[in-house]
A and B are shown apart, each in its own frame.
Chain A
Amino acid sequence: MAEKVKYLSPEWRDEAERRLTAELPPEKMNFVTSSMSNIYRNCPDGSEKYLYFKFVDGKFAEMLIGEGESPKPEFAITGNYETFAKITRGELNAQKALMTLKLKLKGNMVKALRLASLADRLNKVLATIPTDY
């Protein structure tokens, strides 16, 4: 796939799902069961969007993109659209974004620490999608 897709569009979602299923088998996700939502504020069209992931026993189970309230996740990360875009483009470290209040995490931090490396793996896969932000 060489053609760029628009970030958070249905095409981007389909491509993300295809890559996550192919590249993150359950053993790479430590057989984890968890869910996470990225809440995008100040999207280019002025809306607030969410990107919701769910893994069951390490298997990619669900990915939803929508507007308004996200399904209740175990972890929710909230920030500006541009912040998430910078992270996905590799221009900003996610941890630094959290430590400088550019992102806010809700959920049990102790569990989040254990899942940090998995989130990194997931983000790295998403970063490979040719994307138009």
Chain B
Amino acid sequence: MTTQPNAPYFIDFPKRIKNIQEQMQKENIDVYLGSRLRTLSWTTDAFFPWRSFIVIPPEGLPTAFTFVIDAARAADDSWLGEDHVYGFAPMGGQDQIEQISDFIKELLKNGKGRVGVESGMSNYLPEGWLTHYEYQQFDAAMPDAELVNAHTIVDKLALIKDAGTINRFKEASRIVDVGHQAVFDAIKDGGYKGMTETEIAGIAALAMRRAGSEWEWSFTGGNEIASGYRTGYAGGACTPASRREIQAGEPLMVDIHATFKLGLGDHAHNYLIGPATDRQRWHADNFVSIVKKTLETYRAGITPSLLAEQMMDFSEQGGFADYMVPGYEHGIGLLGDEWRIGLNDGPFPFWTNPDHVYQENEVLICAMQYACPDENIGFRYENPIVLFKDHCEEMSKFPLAIEEIA
């Protein structure tokens, strides 16, 4: 909880709630029932790992609801305090459906009104959309209320990042760089010998925790490490560390994650464990060149499809288009928000709109994958970037390179 307005990580959460309430009024929503992890993070400033909900009234403070065993901790972490964080449990009157529907009915006039819910789909498993069962139960428990889909209210407000959010991402990224340095120090000069992917993930985790990280947040396996053929999976954007031993003559991909006040660090760095062949070096140089080109191209005003087009042209000219996965980003926000770019306004519902026009102070993960399964080699780049009018800023500052480790 950061409450001083001049503090670098300050976020004006009461203002966020007022902004939601203004939108609710415009859309004739009497009460907002949020269930997504991203909504909980964005409104409460606390981590809600269990199934949780937030009820936002037309005015005044919201109230969060979570599994009772974690409610006191969540209340302590949140700016809301214990009077506005309730715990639910399998007890008479205290299960989540009855507790929350009773709470909402007291906010509605005679139990009547429009209740905004969050209904949709995602590739990101911990998203937290209202389930079909929950919808049915809430609908039955509030017979005089109308449940309407309203997630766009939060999505629109969360799109452009404020200074406190960006600073939290920058600090999480600084911590990730500490992790990368620890990994480099551990594997160089033959240190990699006998080391497994899981051990590298742990070395990074320890260094980042020492530097203040709260969690290796990624649901794709925490710190993702891939070595040898595992770097070159087709599409290859998820490699939870395995017990595979690092070998000479193979590539090594280190994609590590740190959390700082719900801000997320996410940076992937690549190595060639020597001796590297000319062909491996060629692949590595291709990848570094396209990452540089992509980072030079990102700015406000560009769209995902335009950027992809330019980068595929670049890779075609370089003779390595066959190895590029044609995607260059994924969305990011405070913990729980790791899916599409922008709003749900593209041709495929709940996927990134390829024609989304980036705006200043949007934050995304520049995410690129190079995969050559036939040669057991691949690379990944990820880095949170903030967009400006004519450039982007990479938040993780670990130098871009693919070093050959002796």
Query: A-side interface residues toward B, CB under 8 Å?
Result: 78-79, 95, 97-106, 108-111, 113
Q: Judge if B82 is at the interface, Cβ distance under 8 Å.
A: yes
Contact A108 B83 (CB under 8 A): yes
Please tell me if the beta carbons of B93 and A104 are within 8 angstroms of each other in the complex.
yes
The yes or no answer to B90 lying at the interface (CB within 8 A) is yes
Chain B residues near A113: list those with CB within 8 A. Answer: 68, 87
The chain A residue with its CB closest to the CB of B68 is A109
Question: 8 tightest CB-CB pairs across the interface, nearest first?
Answer: A104-B93, A104-B92, A98-B91, A109-B87, A110-B71, A110-B87, A101-B92, A105-B93
Note all chain A residues with C-beta closer than 8 A to B102.
106
Contacting residues of chain B (62-101) with chain A, CB-CB under 8 angstroms: 68, 71-72, 75, 82-83, 85-94, 98-99
Contact A109 B89 (CB under 8 A): yes
**B85 and A110 form a contact (CB under 8 A):** yes
| B75: nearest chain-A partner, CB-CB | A110
* CB proximity of B69 to chain A, nearest CB, Å: 9
Contact digits for B230-257, partner A, Cβ 8 Å, 1 yes 0 no: 0000000000000000000000000000
Give the complex CA separation of A103 and B99 in angstroms.
14
Tell me the nearest residue of chain A to B90, going by C-beta: A99
Apart from A98-B91, A109-B68: 14 A-B pairs, beta carbons within 8 A: A98-B92, A99-B90, A103-B93, A104-B98, A105-B91, A105-B94, A109-B71, A109-B88, A109-B99, A110-B71, A110-B72, A110-B85, A110-B86, A113-B68
Asked if B82 and A103 sit within 8 Å, CB to CB, the answer is no
Could you say which residues of chain B place their CB within 8 Å of the CB of A105?
Answer: 91-94
Complex formed: what's the CA distance from A101 to B90 in Å?
9
CB-defined contacts of A106 to chain B, threshold 8 Å: 93, 102
Cβ-closest chain B residue relative to A97: B92
Once bound together, how far apart are the Cα atoms of A97 and B90, in whole Å? Answer: 11
Are A103 and B71 within 8 A (Cβ)?
no
Q: How far is the CB of A120 from chain B (nearest CB, A)?
A: 16
- Report the separation of the CA atoms of residues A108 and B85 in the bound assembly, to the nearest whole angstrom: 8
Contacts of A109 in B (CB 8 A): 68, 71, 86-89, 91, 94, 99
Residues of B within 8 A of A97 (CB): 92
> Which residues of chain A come closer than 8 Å to B99, judged between CB atoms?
109
Q: Which residues of B contact A110 (CB under 8 A)?
A: 68, 71-72, 75, 82, 85-87
Q: Please indicate the chain A residues that have their CB under 8 angstroms from the CB of B93 in the complex.
A: 78, 103-106
